[in-house]
Amino acid sequence: NKRNMSDVPQLIFPTVPLSNGLQIPIVGLGTSHHGGYSQDAIVYALTECGIRHIDTAKRYGCEEKLGKDIGQSGVARSDLWLTNKLWPADYTYTVAKKACLDSCSLMGVEYFDLFLMHWPGSFHSHCSNREMRAETWRALEELYKEGVCRAIGVSNFMVHHLEQLKEDCSIMPHVNQVEYHPFQQPNHLIEYCRQEGIVFEGYSPLAKGQALSNRTVLQIAEKHRRTPAQICIRWCIQNGVVTIPKSTKKKRIQENCQVFGFQLDDVDMASLGRLHDGRHVTWDPTNVE
């Protein structure tokens, strides 16, 4: 019994308000060059699962394909939340502005809902990372004022990076997108972001699959008759974290979206909260100056 999804998306995907009043859907679909890229998965997520938040990056090399697949889905651009990211090779004021506009034209869109600096480090040696971040961020501030980016933010930034940006620039990031799963809970950073009005967004919610075989996660999944992936995603949501699980498999994408019909109790949340062991399943920005 196939449901008509056309009027469902707004109902099933709650949103989180940014400091500028925009609403970002709390669950999105991540895209990546790792594990390939699936057109079928993108179209399925948009047309059958009610996904309206897609996260990509120039680094992943799929902007053009993604733009075509979004077009093919028939979902109106105004109903979509599209996040893209600026790779450090494109840092500096002039290059950053051009790179953003180039990404827009590759994807066939006039604006991004969110545009992020992908990493706090720079590939340029003529100035410090701090100076490079400030110069590049000024380009993002202008893109924001021009309406090319409806919101701007950063990814993989730690507290010291954000503190410097606060001193050096005029607009605080609307979002900070960082690795977040039961084994990697940067609570000090999350607290800092909340104090500064920065929405915290997490990537790799399943710890690249490592969380799916964890005994605690499996026990909670059994208790709720849910899958381990759904437990991890639900945990993110209940912590108020925007999350973007990645998958190229239709069944998994559907499963990852079905996380609003149940609630983890305080005991579950506390058990998952104790799993933090500091491991990174991707790059670790802690020591970037």
Query: Any idea which residues carry the catalytic annotation?
Result: 60
d(CA 96, CA 115): 11
Number of Cβ within 10 Å of residue 217's Cβ equals: 26
Show the tokens assigned to 109.
């869109």
Show the tokens assigned to 46.
């948009």
For 254, half-sphere exposure in the C-beta direction (CA atoms, 13 angstrom radius) is 8
SS3 289: coil
Residues 6+ apart with CB under 8 A from 110: 77, 104, 148
Which of the 8 DSSP states describes residue 36? -
d(CA 163, CA 133): 12
d(CA 74, CA 77): 9
d(CA 157, CA 154): 6
Angle at 185 between CA 177 and CA 137, to 5 degrees: 25
Show binding-site residues.
Answer: 118
d(CA 86, CA 95): 10
Q: Where are the alpha helices (DSSP H) in the chain?
A: 9-12, 39-48, 63-73, 93-107, 129-145, 159-168, 187-195, 215-224, 228-238, 250-257, 266-273
Show binding-site residues for substrate.
Answer: 118
